[in-house]
Amino acid sequence: MVRSEVKEKKKKMMKNVNKATPEYATSETLVWWDMDSCPLPNGYDPSRLGPRIDTELKNLGYNGPLTIIAVGNLDGIPYDFLKVLSSNGFVIKHSGQDIHGDMREYFISRSRLCQPPPVTIMIISGVPLLLESVTREIYVRPDCGYNLLLAYPPHSEPKQPHPSSFVRFGGEWLWDRASLLKGSSNEEKRRLDKGSVIPFSCGLCYFFCPSFEDFTSHLQSAKHARKVEVDNGGRDTRFKLALKELEAAKLSEPYLDQLRSKQSCFNRIYKRCTTLKTQSKAKMSKFQKVVSSPPNNSTSNTKKAKKNGG
């Protein structure tokens, strides 16, 4: 392949991608990989995925601690496949049918921190609604320190506009498996950092553990099988209700208007909380000054004189 063709293919794969700013060049990077909608090609060595993602991020200047979280419905996934991911430092999460909910829960819980550190989030998913929802969650919390990267297959590009002018937006990738996963098997990679994330978890059963063997044993347990049966039974109903609510929301007001409305509401709450916190600190400071200040001797003597009839 001639050099011009290589450049054109690379250009198509990287869409609107920017170099990392100094703030995010050495800070934490979290990659959420939706295994269900962006599976690896048949026969592809899963141990090559981590180095490939790492190389792409390093080329853009992201050199901080890297955590890759593989999320998906793991029922039926071969043991050896999961073992390779685990051995290569991946965090593995079984989410049943609700990957969307698991990721939303993560962003909501992180946003509870008052001053979280700068964090880059890369989402790899072929579900446009998931990408839009994550963007919305980050957008309404503009001062929580997130920088967003999106990766999706060419046929799954979100139809709704991304408010990139409002979000710390690092860019978008086209997750074309033939090109993104192409690379040398000898690529060097930084050591994956699991940080404070529990290595293995089942969102369906609320099961968390540090051991791969305990995790795979749980996935084969009768308790997990019963949960899967219940989850599958209610999936169609939940999907239809969610789809109905989404269509109603799209008809009622434009997408960006929804975002602006949510951000306005969040800012009002945030401003109110900040004001109350400032007032509380001021009262506490005033109280501490009164408690720590020495008694006024002249005032004390005057009170004693009045008491004695002086």
Q: So what's the pLDDT on residue 114?
A: 42
State whether 137 and 17 are in the same domain. Answer: yes
State whether 247 and 262 are in the same domain. Answer: no
Does the structure show a pLDDT above 80 at 89?
A: yes
Number of domains in the chain: 2
Please give the structure tokens belonging to residue 193. 């950092």
Q: So what's the pLDDT on residue 8?
A: 45
3-state helix, strand, coil in the chain (%, to 5): 50, 15, 35
Question: What is the residue range of 168's domain?
Answer: 3-252
- Least confident range from 182-191, 264-273, 284-293: namely 182-191
CA-CA distance, 149 to 167, in Å (whole number)? 11
State whether 123 and 260 are in the same domain. Answer: no
Sheet of 14-15, strand order? 14-15, 169-174, 146-152, 119-124, 28-34, 66-72, 91-94, 200-202, 207-209
State whether 59 and 16 are in the same domain. Answer: yes
- Least confident range from 30-34, 83-87, 92-96, 100-104: namely 100-104
307 domain residue, yes or no? no
Q: What is the pTM of this model?
A: 0.67
CA-CA distance, 95 to 201, in Å (whole number)? 8
185 domain residue, yes or no? yes
Q: So what's the pLDDT on residue 91?
A: 92
265 domain residue, yes or no? yes
Does the structure show a pLDDT above 60 at 184?
A: no
Q: So what's the pLDDT on residue 83?
A: 94
Give the residue-averaged pLDDT of 89-99. 83
State whether 238 and 184 are in the same domain. Answer: yes
- Domain boundary residue, one of 252, 273, 301: 252
State whether 274 and 153 are in the same domain. Answer: no
- Least confident range from 139-148, 191-200, 300-309: namely 300-309
State whether 172 and 75 are in the same domain. Answer: yes
Does the structure show a pLDDT above 50 at 134?
A: yes
Does the structure show a pLDDT above 70 at 227?
A: yes
Residues 6+ apart with CB under 8 A from 223: 205
Selected residue with higher pLDDT from 135 and 204: 204
User: CA separation (Å) from 206 to 106, 215, 223?
Assistant: 14, 12, 12
User: Which H or E run includes 91?
Assistant: strand 91-94
- Least confident range from 76-90, 223-237, 260-274: namely 260-274
217 domain residue, yes or no? yes
Does the structure show a pLDDT above 90 at 113?
A: no
The answer to whether residues 243 and 128 touch, using CB atoms and an 8 Å cutoff, is no
Closest CA to 20 of 68, 66, 52: 66
Does the structure show a pLDDT above 70 at 112?
A: no
